[in-house]
């Protein structure tokens, strides 16, 4: 699976949009981009995923560049409960493919 690069930490004011970047320059055509987050030591929580089109759900939006070498997770109105470690993971489709977690971005939402 392609390796991803994320900033180690980011801050965001409550109520503002949080834009979390991810580089995946070696992504291949059959690999999806998945975003998860982990609050404290809870289980990773699925947020959103995409292949090449931008995606939106009730939690977030995912913007993938046209060359697919990077993406941005957008939390439109961050709250204190969005403070967590956010993981960008690229995974091949097919069979049971595992998720390979990096160190992620620690997002701190402040008042």
> Judged by CB under 8 A, does residue 7 bind another protein?
no
Query: Mind spelling out the 3-state secondary structure of 27-64?
Result: CCCCEEEEEEEECCCCCCEEEEEECCCCEECCCCEEEE
Using rule CB under 8 A, residue 8 touches another protein: no
Residue 111 interacting with another protein (CB under 8 A): no
H/E element holding 93? none
CA 5 distance to own-chain centroid: 11
Rounded to an integer, what distance in angstroms lies between the CA atom of residue 65 and that of residue 61? 13
Residue 13 Cβ vs another protein, minimum distance, rounded to whole Å: 28
| Residue ranges in 77-106 that form contacts with another protein under rule CB under 8 A | 87, 93-103
Binding residues for another protein restricted to 23-82, rule: CB under 8 A: 32, 34, 36, 38, 41-46, 49, 51
Interface residues toward another protein, by CB under 8 A:
32, 34, 36, 38, 41-46, 49, 51, 87, 93-103
């Amino acid at each position: 699976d392609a390796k991803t690069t994320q900033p180690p930490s980011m801050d965001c004011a409550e109520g503002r949009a949080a834009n979390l970047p991810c580089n995946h320059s070696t992504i291949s055509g059959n690999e999806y981009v998945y975003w998860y987050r982990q609050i404290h030591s809870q289980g990773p929580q699925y947020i959103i995923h995409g292949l090449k089109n931008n995606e939106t759900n009730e939690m977030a939006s995912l913007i993938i560049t046209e060359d697919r070498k990077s993406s941005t997770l957008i939390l439109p109105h961050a709250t204190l409960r969005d403070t967590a470690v956010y993981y960008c993971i690229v995974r091949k489709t097919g069979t049971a493919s595992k998720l390979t977690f990096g160190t992620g971005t620690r997002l701190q939402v402040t008042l």
